[in-house]
Amino acid sequence: FDREIKTGAKLQHPNILSLFDSGEADGLLYYVMPFVYGESLGDRLQREPMLPIETAVGITLEVADALGYAHSLGIVHRDIKPDNIMLSGNHALVADFGIAKAISSIEGGAKLTEAGVAVGTPLYMSPEQAVGDPAGPTSDLYSLACVLYEMLAGSPPFTGANARQIMARHAMEQVPSLQVIRDTVPDEVEDAIMAAMAKV
């Protein structure tokens, strides 16, 4: 827990929700983050399933900048999804760097971070994560493309009755065209999503 939280604390970027402190008190582990005046992207999408194209692209660019910074330090998020993107004012903040991994390690689930076991949220999980392969920067970009797709289409690119079905669709099916759902999406935006969600 301490190692993963310290990794997250190294990240100092305007679009990453920082960690102030962590430790143990009365046998309980804790971490301290700033209070965010705003809401998660997940909350926003509950109210407004399809965002304006300019807003969706702006959020994506800020998250991509944060991920690029983290990746340059060798840190992969592994769980990019709307609930881990906070909206404060007109800015996006990526939350939970390393925290999911840290919590899994104290719950006896250290194996969750090793090869061979899937880690992440199925609606946004890259095919390599789904089969338990190591997650690299391209996994985060795949997940971010899924989030952008949802902001523009009103639903994630792949859904299903259960996690296994969703992960199988990610691994095997072609991404549905955004422009069929929303013909005002520019070609270059759809092309970027398709490139980030390529199977190889």
Annotated catalytic residues are 79
- What are residue 86's DSSP bridge partners? 40, 93
Check residue 17 and report its DSSP letter: -
Q: Do the beta carbons of residue 149 and residue 193 sit within 8 Å? A: yes
Continuous segment of H or E residues that includes residue 116: none
Check residue 86 and report its DSSP letter: E
Separation CA 51–CA 45 (nearest Å):
8
Separation CA 77–CA 147 (nearest Å):
14
Q: In terms of Cα–Cα distance, which of 180, 167, 88 is closest to 121?
A: 167
Structure tokens at 48: 């407004």
